[in-house]
Amino acid sequence: MTEPAPAPNRPYVPLWCKSNYSFLEGASHPEEVVDACRQKGIPALALTDRHGVYGMVRAHVRARQQGIHLIAGAQISLREGAEILLLVRDEEGYRNLCRLLTDGHLRSSKGKCSLNGQAVCGCSRGLLALWIGPLDPRASPEAAFEPLLGQFKAAFEDRLYILLARHRRAEEILPEIQLRKLARRFSLPTVAAVEILYHVPERRRLQDVLTCIREGATLTTAGRLIRPNDQHALKSPEELARLFNDDPESVRRTLEVAARCSFSLQELRYRYPLESLPEGKTSSQHLRDRTFEGAARRLGKKFHGLIPQLRKELDLIRELEYEGYFLTMHEIVEYCRRRHILCQGRGSAANSAVCFALGITSVDPTQVDLLFERFLSRERAEPPDIDLDIEHDRREEVIRHVYEKYGRDRAAMVANVVRYRRRSAIREVGKVLGVAATSLDRLAKLVSHDHCNAEFIRQAGLDPRNPALLHLTSLVEEIQDFPRHLSIHPGGFLLGHRPVHDLVPIENASMPGRTVIQWDKEDVDQAGLFKVDLLGLGALTHLHLCFDLLQRHRQRELSLATMPKGDPSTFEMICRSDTVGVFQIESRAQMAMLGRLKPRNYYDLVIEISIVRPGPITGGMVHPYLRRRNGQEEVQYPHPSLIPVLKKTLGIPLFQEQVMQLAMVAADYSPGEADQLRRDMAAWRRSGRIERHRQRLVTRMVAKGIQPEFAERVFQQIRGFGEYGFPESHAASFAHIAYATAYLKCHYPAEFVCALLNAQPMGFYSAATIVNDARIHGIEVRPVSILDSHWDCSLVEIEGAPEESTQFAVRMGLRYVKGLGREDWRRLAEAARQAPFRNLPDLARRSRLHQDKLEALAEAGAFECLGLDRRGALWQIQGLTTEPRPLLPLAGRDPLPRFPALSGLETILWDHRASSHSSRAHLLKPLRPALKAQGLPTARQLNRMPNGRLVRYAGMVICRQRPGTAGGVTFMTLEDETGFVNLVIWKQTFERYSLLAKTLSCMGVTGNLQVAEGVTHLVVRKIWKPELEKGSLHLKSRDFH
Amino acid sequence: MDRVGAIPRSAADRTGCINIRALPLQLLLRRHPEWKQRPVAVVEQEKPQSPLLWVNAPAGRAGIRSGMRYASALSLDRDLCAGTVSEREIREAVRQVHQLLNRFSPRVEPCEDEPGIFWADAGGLDKLYGTLEAWARQIDLHLSRLEFSASIVIGFSRFGSYALAKAERLVTVLPSPEAEQAQSRRVSLLHLQLDPRLRDRLEKLAIHTLEDLLGLSEAGIQRHLGEQARDLYRLASGELSRPLQPQSIPQPLRSRMDLNEPDPNAQRLLFRIKQLLDPLLRAAAERYQAAAALQLQLRLENGTRHHQRIQPARPTLEVSVLLDLVRLRLERVSLCAPLLELRLEVEAVGVSAETRNLLQRNPRRNTEAALQALARVRAEFGPDSVLSARLKPGHLPEARWEWRPLHGLTPATPRPGPIRPLVRRAHARPKPLDRKRPPGLEPLLGYLISGGWWNREVRRDYRFVNTDRREVLWVYYDPQGRRWYSQGRVE
C-alpha cells in the first residue's frame, strides 16, 4: 500500500463515477479512475457502474494499493423513469445491492436490468440512496416523482440524499431548481456531484465514440445522443469547489456520505459449500478417508510410498479449510463415473497426490515429480484451481447436475468479459467515424497485434492524412482492452455456501436457462472465491466412443485406468509420426517433432507436448534440448544447485514449473514469489511486468555463484516463455490421453477411426483426411447407404477376414450427409423399422423426408443399395413432389432416362460435395496416371528421397499455417492418396505466389527437400497450378488458424 | 420467360439480339474509368458481407467469383474495387440503349427479365445498310461510343438469337434458320439466365446444353424438373414462340410555339400558353397522368431566356388552376424584349382514373385551400418562399433546427410543456462583438458546449448577460478565436 496522498484544502468525495464496466458508457478503466483520485488528493471514491458491480474487484485491488477508500455502489434506472445511486454502507447493504441487481437482471433479457422503486425500497437496509432525478426532465417534471420520492424517504429515512450534478449544461439549470425544491419539501440533504465518465478530459472523444457504438449511430448523426461538453472528467477538489461555489455545504456533505460507507470487499466472508457428510464425520475426516481409499485403490502396493505426500497435502488443505472444494470436485468426478462420462482433471491440480487419489486427475504422482506449490501454497492463500475436462458432448449433463445439486442461487457460471481487440476496435470505431465499411474490412484484415498507426493505414492503401483515419488510429489504441459486454466462461462455476447473489449479482446469459455472475475469472481469483472449471474435451468423447466399440465388438473392457502402460509398438508408431487423430501430437508441427524427439516413454510424451509451444520455441530451448537428447551436445547446468530442477530436461527449462523452481532454488524466491513470477509471465499483454523480476533474479543468482551471463541467459529464457510456457502438470495430464489414443490407433485402428469420425468435430484433421489415413492403414471404409448406415459411423465385420488382419470395416454414418439432420435420421429409422424399403418412392412416402433431404442422400450415393445411381435417384426424387402422393405406392410411370454415368473422379467429387469426404478413394487417386505422366511423385515416394533433391510435387492442401513464432514463414501440408508432404514457404516466396498459395486447393510446388533426423520438408521455390482433368478440385482446407 | 422464339414462318424474318454483357458491371466501369485495368466487382450493398453480383476479368483471374462475399474476395486481392449500381442507373441505361437502337430499327423490344438484352427487328435492313452484318456493326460502333460492349446475333427467332447472343462474344449473322437451330442447341445452359436451383439440377443430371435438354421428353421434364425447365424445352424445340413486342419510348409532354413576329405584348402570353397547355393536358389525361409541374421557357428577341417552373399544390388536370399560377408568376417577371419563342413542358405523374376524376373537382376542404394559397405564394415568390422550421438533435443553437421546403400541411397538435420556455431570438449567424468583453453586467447563467472534434472542434462558453438597456443578451466566448460573439437575445 502506498503512502496516503496529502489532504487537499477543500476535500470532497466523488460519489457518482462510472468506469468502463458501465459497458459502452464509461471511458476509463476503474484502475485509471482510482489512480487519478490518488493524484488529485481525493481520499475516497464511489464506483457506481450502471446496474452492476462489474469493475468493483479491479477498483478494490487498485484502491487498496493506492490507499483510497472505495465505496461500492451502482446506478439504477428505475422503471418509473428516475435514476438513483445506491451506495453500500455495510455488508448487509452489499448483500442487498447484489440481491437487488440480481433480481433486476434475472427478470430481464441479457444485459438489461428492470427494477422499480418498490423493489429498491424493499432492499434498503445497509444502503444509502442518492436521488438523481428523472432521465428526461422536460418529459417528466420532478413533481411527478413526488410519490416515489416519498416512498424512498419512508424506506431510506436519513439515508436518502438529493444529488445535485453539474456539468455546465444548459439543460440542467432548471432541473436543479426543481431538485432543490424537492429537497426542501422532503427535508432531504443535498450532495454535490459530477457524473464521472472518464478520469481525464482527453477521454471525452472515446466516451463520444462509445456512446455512438451503444446507440448504433455515427458521430455526425448522433446529435444530442452524445454529451454536449467534456465536463464529465474527475474534478480536483478545487475545481469542484469552484463549480459549487454557491453551495459549499453540498460539497462538504460528500465527505459525510463517504464516512457513512464503511464497507470493503475484503469483508466478504466466503466459504466453500460443504458436501453432505456421513454422520459423525467432519469434512476433514471425510476427505482424508476418501483420499486414502482412493489412493489404495489406484496405486495398490505403491500406495504406502505416497502416504507422506498425501498427509502433507491434506494437512495444508485442512489448514486452509479447502476440504469442501476437494469434496465437491470428487463428487462431480463420481457423478461422471456413475454416468459413464469420461473426465480428467488437468492444469495445476495434476501436481496434487490428493487429486490423483480422489480420481480427479490421472497423473500418477509416483511416476512424475510434480510441484505441489504450483497447485496450492500456504503463503499464497489462494483457492486452488482445478480444471476438469469432460467429454465435450456430455458436458452439458454435468453442468445441469451442478445446477441441480447446488441450486440456481448457489451455483452460477463465471463471466467472460469480451474486450476490444484491434480488429473489433477498427470495425466499431471506424463505423462511428463514418469510414466506409469496405475500407474498415480491409484494415481489420490487415491489422497486426502490435500497432494501428499511420504507417499501417498507408500500407492498407488508404490515405493516412484523412482526419477520420487519424482519429481511428489513436482511438483504436485507446479502446484496447475496454470491456464491451459479458459473455459466458466456457465452464467456470462459482459455488457458494450461501446464495451466490449475496457475493456478486447474477444475470441472464444469452443461452436460455444459463446464468452468469458479473465477475470474470480474474476477478473471482482476486476476490478469493472458489471456481470449478468444467471444460469440454473432444478427445475424451473419442476415447469413450472407442471404449464402447471395443466392448461391443470385441468384448474388451478398457478404460483410461486399465490401459496397458508403455506399449512398445505404440511408441514405435508415434516415432514414425503416424499420429493422425492422436490427441495433442497430431498437428504438422508435432508430427515433425516426433520424428526428431522419438518418444519412447510416457515422460517423453510429456516433453513432446510441451516443447512444440511458442514459449520453448521463442525461448530458444528446442534445439539445445534436442542436441543434448541426441548426444550431440554436453549436458551442462548453470549451477550444481539447479541439477535437481533441470535434470529431467537435460539442463534446459521446458516447463513453467521449472521456471518457478529455478527462481526458488537459484534466486531464493519464496513459493509465493515464484507464483507471482508465473502470473507475470502469463500477463503478456500488460508488457513490462516480467521486467520487474530481472534485477531480483539476476542479482540473486549471481550472489549464489551463477555466472552473470548465465544468469542473464536464464532470465532471457524466462522472458521468452511469456504466457506460452506450458505447465508440466498440464502436459502430464494431456500426455495420458495422448498415449491412450495412440494405443487405440495402434492396436484397434478400425475402432479408433470409427470413434474419431463419430466424435467430430474435434482435433486437427477433417473427416476426408481421417478417412484417407484409415485407407492408407488398410482399413476398409464403406460409403453411406440408406439400408446399411446408421446415424453414426459403425463397424461391420468383414466376412472371411483372416484373424490377424483388421476384422472390421467402417461404415460411414448418415451424419456425414450434408443437410441431413438427426431428426431426419429418426424418421428414416422409424420407417425402416416398420418394413424394409422397397424402392425410393416407398422410402420417400413412408419417411416423409423433404425433397432436399432426399436429394442430399441421392447425391451422397446413399440409394445405390437400391440399385439407383445418383443421377437416376435425383431424377426420381425430382419427380416425386410434382404430383399428389398416391394412396398406394406406385412405380414411376415414365421410363428412367439414361444419364451418363459418373466417372471415377466425378464420383469422388460428388462424395466430397455431398459428405465432405470420399470413402471410395482419395481425390488424386484417379488423377495419378496424369500426375505420373508429368513426372510428379507421390507423397510416399517423396518422403523417401534424399536431402537436397530438387523435386516437383502436387497434392491437395489440407492445412495452411503461419505461426507468430516463425518470422513470416508459412507452413502447409499437402496430401495425396499415400500420405502427407510438409511444405516450408519463406516469406518472399509466399508473397511472390501469394494468390496461388492462398487459393489453390490442389497445389503444385517445386522446391528442395530438407531431410533431417528422418523428417522431410519441402522448401518451396515455386508454386504452380497443376494441369489436371477439367473439373474443380476445390476442397476446404484448414487455413491460418 | 419471355425470351420466346422459334424458327419463324418466313426465312425473310430476321431478328437481332443485342446483349450488353454484365450491364451493371459496365455501368460501374463507365462511372469509374480509372478502374478498367483493376479487379472490379459490383456488390449488392456497400458492406463487407455483401455478395458480389458481377466481377470483371482481372478479378476473375484473382480467383474472385460472383456470389463470393466482398470480405472474402478482398482477402484474395487487396486491390479489388467494388461499388453498387442502382436500379435507377440500370433503367436509365436501358432507356439510353433503347433510344439508340430505335435509330437502327423501328421495332425494338428490351427484355424485362434481363436488363441488357434487346431484340430488334432486322427485317429488310440489309437493303438499307448493304448487309445485315454492316447493320450490326453500326450498332456495335454506336454502343461502343456509349462505352458499352455488346454481342450481337442476327438470327431468325427470338430465342435462337438470344441463346447465341448470350454465348457468343462477337457480331454474328446466321445464314439460315437451320444454322441458328444447330448452333443454339450447342449453347451451354450455364450461359442462359435460369433459376440457379434449376441450373444446378440440370448440371447434376449432366444436362449441359440445350441439345441435352431436348433429349428428354417434355412430359418427363415437366414432371421432374418443373415449369421453367418445360418452358425452356419448348422454347428450344420451337414449340413456344412469341412475336417481337416492340416498345416505344414515352415521349415527353412538350410543346413549342415560334412567333413569326416578335410579340411585345406580355398580356397575350397567357393566352398563348393556354393554347399549348390544353392539348398537353389532354395527352396527359389519355396516359392517366396529371400535371405535377410546368416548365416554361421563353426566348426573347434580344436573345435572353427565361425559365420558370410552376408547381401546383397537387397534380392536376385543371387548366384554370395552372394558368392562375402561371399568371401570378409572370406578373413578377418583366420581359425586357418582345417574345420570340415559347416552350412548355408538362411534368406528368401517373394517377388512377378515380383520382383523375377527383382532381377535376373543386376542392372543398380548408387544407386544400391552404395548400392552394401556399402554391400561389410559391408561384409568386419562387419555390424557396414556402419553408418550415424542423428541429434537429444538435447541441449548437444553429444546429438545433433547419429550414426545409414545406410540401404539405398537417393539423397542428400543440402540447403544453411543464415549463413555459423563454423565447430566444437567434441570429442567422453568430455576430462577433467589437469589444473584448460582452456589454453589460455580471453574467446571469452560463453553460458550455464543446465538441465536433472529429471534424472541426468547437468550444463555446455561453452566458446570458444583462445589458445597460435591460436587455438579456445571449453571448458566448470562443477560446480558440479569443473573442466574444452574440448568439441572440432573450425576450
B419 interface with A at CB cutoff 8 Å = yes
Question: Sheet harboring A386-391: ordered strands across?
Answer: A343-346, A386-391, A531-537, A483-495, A411-419, A515-520, A506-508
Chain-chain contact of B393 with A441 (C-beta, under 8 angstroms): no
Q: Rounded CA gap, B66 and B70, in Å? A: 10
Confidence at B4, pLDDT banded by 50, 70, 90: very low
In angstroms, the Cα distances linking A456 to A144, A449, A781, B72 are 55, 12, 51, 21
For residue A1039, the cross-strand partners are A960
What pLDDT score was predicted for residue A27? Answer: 97
Supply the pTM of this predicted model: 0.76
Q: Is A463 buried (19+), middle (13-18) or exposed (0-12) by CB count in 10 A? A: exposed
Give me the mean pLDDT over the A309-336 stretch: 88
Q: Tell me: pLDDT of A1035 over 70.
A: no
What pLDDT was estimated at residue B195?
84
Question: Lowest-pLDDT range, A47-61, A321-335, A376-390, B35-49?
Answer: A376-390
Q: What is the mean pLDDT of residues A1020-1037?
A: 72
Residue keyed to cell 424438373: B225
Helix (H) or strand (E) segment spanning residue B155:
strand B150-155
Per-residue confidence (pLDDT) for residue A887, from 0 to 100: 47
To the nearest whole angstrom, how far is the Cα of B418 from the nearest Cα of chain A?
7
Instruction: Determine the Cα–Cα distance for residues B471 and B157; give it in Å rounded to an integer.
Output: 86
DSSP output for B302-370 = TS-EEEEEE--SS-B--HHHHHHHHHHHHHT---SS-EEEEEEEEEEEE--HHHHHHHTSPP-SHHHHH
Of B63, B74, B445, the CB nearest to A995: B63
Interatomic CA distance for residues B411 and B415, integer angstroms: 13
Rounded to whole angstroms, the Cα distance separating B238 from B227 reads 16
Work out the average pLDDT over B311-334. 86
> Looking at residue A505, what DSSP letter applies?
-
CB contact under 8 Å between A874 and B205, yes or no, is: yes
| Euclidean distance between CA atoms A809 and A802, whole angstroms | 13
Phi and psi at B200, nearest 5°, equal: -65, -45
- Looking at CA atoms only, how far is residue B224 from chain A in angstroms? 4
Question: Which of A1031 and B290 is assigned the larger pLDDT?
Answer: B290
Classified as helix, coil or strand, B451 is strand
What pLDDT score was predicted for residue A891?
Answer: 47
- CB distance A879–B76 less than 8 Å? no
CA distance B288 to B281: 10
According to DSSP, residue A834 is labeled H
Residue of B nearest to A472 (CA): B454
Per-residue pLDDT at A150 exceeds 80:
yes
> Can you read off the three cell numbers belonging to residue A856?
442430399
> CB distance A882–B418 less than 8 Å?
no
State the pLDDT at residue B365: 52
Percent of chain B at pLDDT > 90 equals 30
Instruction: Collapse the DSSP code of A494 into the 3-class scheme (helix H, G, I; strand E, B; otherwise coil) and give the result.
Output: strand
Q: In what order do the strands lie in the sheet with B289-300?
A: B253-263, B339-350, B289-300, B305-310
Interface contact B450-A220, CB threshold 8 A: no
Best to test chain A binding among B224, B449, B453 (most A CBs inside 10 Å)? B224
A882 with B222: Cβ contact below 8 A: yes
What's the gap between Cα B278 and its chain centre?
Answer: 29
Whether the predicted pLDDT of A1021 surpasses 70? yes
> Where residue B3 falls among pLDDT bands split at 50, 70, 90?
very low
Size of interface A-B (CB pairs under 8 A): 118
Average pLDDT over residues A916-934: 92
Residue B224 near chain A (CB below 8 Å)? yes
CB A827 within 8 A of CB A844: no
Cell of A235: 474534478
Which residue in A220, A467, A871 is closest to B205 by CB distance?
A871
Backbone angles phi, psi at A184, to 5 degrees: -65, -45
Residue-wise pLDDT for A652-661, tens only, equals: 888 877 877 8
Residue B38 confidence (pLDDT): 87
Q: Is the pLDDT of residue B5 over 50?
A: no
> What is residue A701's three-state secondary structure?
helix
> Would the pLDDT of A337 be above 60?
yes
B48 has a chain A CB within 8 A of its CB: yes
Residue B37 has pLDDT above 90, yes or no: no
Say yes or no for a CB contact (<8 Å) between B82 and A438: yes
Asked if A437 lies within 8 A of B462 by C-beta distance, the reply is no
Mean of per-residue pLDDT scores for chain A: 87
Separation between Cα atoms, residue A26 and residue A24, nearest integer Å? 6
Q: By the CB < 8 Å criterion, does B391 face chain A? A: no
In terms of average pLDDT, the best of A264-273, A916-925, B3-12, B77-86 is A916-925
> How many percent of chain A have pLDDT more than 70?
91
Q: Using a CB-CB distance cutoff of 8 angstroms, which residues of chain A are in contact with residue B393? A: 223-225
Asked whether the bond before B397 is cis by omega within 30 degrees of 0, the reply is: no
> Would an 8 Å CB–CB cutoff place B490 in contact with chain A?
no
Backbone angles phi, psi at A360, to 5 degrees: -75, -40
- Nearest to A504, CA basis, from A410, A401, A391, A618: A410
By mean pLDDT, which of A719-733, A838-852, B176-190 is the weakest?
A719-733
Burial state string for A746-782 with b = 16 or more CB within 10 A and e = fewer than 16: bbbbbbbbbbbbbbbebbbbbbbbbbbbbbbeebbbb
Least confident of A400-409, A504-513, A706-715: A706-715
- DSSP-derived letter for residue B209 is B
pLDDT at residue A722 in the model: 59
Chain B contact set for A225 (CB, 8 A): 393
The tens digit of pLDDT for each residue in B238-248 reads 888 778 888 87
Calculate how close chain B gets to A994, using CA atoms only, in Å.
9
Compute how many other C-beta atoms are within 10 angstroms of the C-beta atom of residue A836. 10
Name the 3-class secondary structure at A924: coil
Reference A343, options A491, A557, A489; nearest CA is A491
**Mean pLDDT on A36-50:** 96
Q: Judge: B79–A461 Cβ closer than 8 Å, yes or no.
A: yes
**Whether the predicted pLDDT of A161 surpasses 60:** yes
Q: Taking 80 as the threshold, does the pLDDT of residue A836 lie above it?
A: yes
- Mean pLDDT, all residues of chain B: 84
A161 touches A128 (CB < 8 A): yes
Which secondary-structure segment (H or E) carries A128?
strand A127-134
The pLDDT value given to residue A25: 96
For the stretch A590-633, pLDDT in tens is 998 998 899 999 999 999 998 888 777 777 788 889 999 888 88
Amino acid of residue A771: V
Residue B83 identity (one-letter amino acid): G
Q: Is residue A972 pLDDT above 80, yes or no? A: yes
What is the predicted pLDDT for the residue at A805? 59
Determine whether the interchain pair B448/A231 forms a contact, defined as Cβ–Cβ distance below 8 Å. Answer: yes
The Cα A218–Cα A209 span in angstroms is: 8
Helix axes A671-682 and A692-703, enclosed angle (nearest 10): 140
Q: Do B224 and A882 touch (CB under 8 A)?
A: yes
- Segment A549-560, tens digit of pLDDT: 999 998 889 988
Q: Which of A871, A876, A999 faces B206 most closely, judged by CB atoms?
A: A871
Q: Residue B37, SS3?
A: coil
Nearest to A224 among B63, B395, B417 (CB): B395
Closest to A919 in 3D by CA, of A749, A779, A1031: A779
